[in-house]
Amino acid sequence: MPPSTPPILPSILGVTHHQFVAACAERGIGSGRAMAAYRAFYLEGDASGVPEGFEGWIPPIVRRLEEEVSEGTTIKFCQRLDRQTGTPLSNRAADGVALGVLNNDGRVRHLDIESVIIPMIGRTGRKTHTLCVSSQVGCAMGCGFCETAQMGLIRSLTPAEIAAQWWAARWIEGVEIDNIVFMGMGEPLDNTDAVLQAIGCLTDHHGPRVAMSCVTISTVGRVDGLRRLSEQIQTPGWKRLGIALSVNAPNDSVRDRLMPVNRRWDMGELQSVMQRIVEVRGARKILFEYVLIPGVNDSMDHAGQLADWMAPFGKRDGKAPVGLLNVIPYNPRRDSPWPAPDENDVAAFVARMNELGVYTKRRRTKGRTAMAACGQLGTAEIRGRRFIGSPGTEPAGAKNGSDD
């Protein structure tokens, strides 16, 4: 169970079975009835037994796109948050914004979140499905290659709203979900408490039953959040939580331009905190993500610099490397300043990284034409609007030595 959790809300969504039983007990509802309702809701999609006042509200799916790939069908679905659920997670302006019309701006009619179901076939031939979930409406990190970043941060999602994405995928779309990746809209470590609480629910063995080893948090590199994760994964049941770091650049100069978060926490600080995570996680692999952008970070010189930065995560004392580099061909966002890379250039970069001793794979592109691929999620009517800032980012050129 996460060490720090939001107040238990009168909802079956986003809480562990322990929390739900305790909340029911406060209202005189026995543990047997509470457990039966919890299991039926998550394991059968049956909400009929949920006690009055504890019903979970599933935001409706208002848009749905499909794209056929070799492994099956990639599905992007959009849920509409036009009903306030629960209480704000904090006193930040983002979490207190009313839903519906935002700040009396008539162009913003709805707050929508997007999730993607990705089919995969592994080496054994077994077909699985990965759910890419969102943790925020929009994002404050400002990465130039990302569609969500063009929205700005509107507000963070509650644990219930995060868990509702799994429920919709499982019981509305009817897809068995094997893996969950926090790689959708938003920066998970800009909403850490809610994300950890949601993971506690999603991995509950009486609930969704997703294995902790099948859940991955992907971050742009918020060092304060990564330090928090290094503590969290030392608690019972959390050591196998997957962690993915979006590096996306071979040096600070390139990363400063692509990812404003690097102006606060540079690549040296990032390397140090990731080494600490390796220490507490043992041999479990860490995923390093690298969006390959033509003319920006794809040269052979860039490959050499990146290999040097990743050296601490390579082979050590004859042991297998703990760092896996996942090269992601850039998926153009709307009005993108860059095209998608040429496949030959992608193959050459991957080959060079492997030659330099970095265990490197190329991520298959899925969902690009449906704007469902990596970096393409976002609500068009909100994009480009910068409503609020985030405690984790600073204005261009700023550098703050404090992590608080």
* Residue 162 forms part of a structural domain: yes
* Residue 389 forms part of a structural domain: no
* Number of independent structural domains in the chain: 2
Interhelix angle 159-167/192-202, rounded to 10 degrees, is 40
The pLDDT tens digits for 204-215 are: 999 999 999 999
| Same-domain status, 48 and 132 | no
| Same-domain status, 43 and 62 | no
* Residue 43 forms part of a structural domain: yes
* Residue 390 forms part of a structural domain: no
State residue 100 phi and psi, 5-degree precision: 95, -120
| Same-domain status, 76 and 204 | yes
pLDDT of residue 315: 79
CA distance readout (Å), 108 to 147, 153, 250: 17, 14, 38
* Residue 105 forms part of a structural domain: yes
Contact 308, 295 (CB under 8 A): no
* Residue 41 forms part of a structural domain: yes
| Same-domain status, 27 and 130 | no
| Same-domain status, 317 and 240 | yes
Q: Which of 335, 332, 338 has its CA nearest to residue 383?
A: 335
| Same-domain status, 12 and 99 | no
141 vs 152: CA distance, rounded Å: 8
Radius of gyration over every alpha carbon of the chain, rounded to an integer in angstroms: 21
pLDDT of residue 214: 97
| Same-domain status, 202 and 160 | yes
- Which CATH number fits the domain that encloses residue 191? 3.20.20.70
pLDDT of residue 211: 98
Q: Domain limits at 343?
A: 57-370
* Residue 227 forms part of a structural domain: yes
The pLDDT tens digits for 286-330 are: 999 999 999 999 999 999 999 999 999 997 777 789 999 999 999
With b for 16 or more beta-carbon neighbours within 10 A and e for fewer, the 297-329 pattern comes to bbeeebbebbbebbbebbeeeeeebbbbbbbbb
Active site residue 374: yes
Which residue stretches of 31-158 are H helix?
Answer: 31-39, 93-96
Contact 65, 376 (CB under 8 A): no
- Ranges 224-233, 254-263, 324-333: which has the least confidence: 324-333
DSSP 70: T
The pLDDT tens digits for 360-372 are: 999 775 444 544 3
Q: What percent of the chain has pLDDT over 90?
A: 66
| Same-domain status, 249 and 289 | yes
From the list 24, 143, 201, 374, the catalytic residue is: 374
- Ranges 8-22, 91-105, 261-275, 346-360: which has the least confidence: 91-105
Q: Above 90 in pLDDT, residue 396? A: no
| Same-domain status, 106 and 39 | no
| Same-domain status, 108 and 93 | yes
| Same-domain status, 38 and 131 | no
| Same-domain status, 23 and 84 | no
* Residue 95 forms part of a structural domain: yes
CA distance readout (Å), 88 to 157, 269, 392: 9, 32, 19
Residue 219 neighbours by CB under 8 Å, 6+ apart: 187, 188, 189, 225, 226, 243, 244, 245, 246
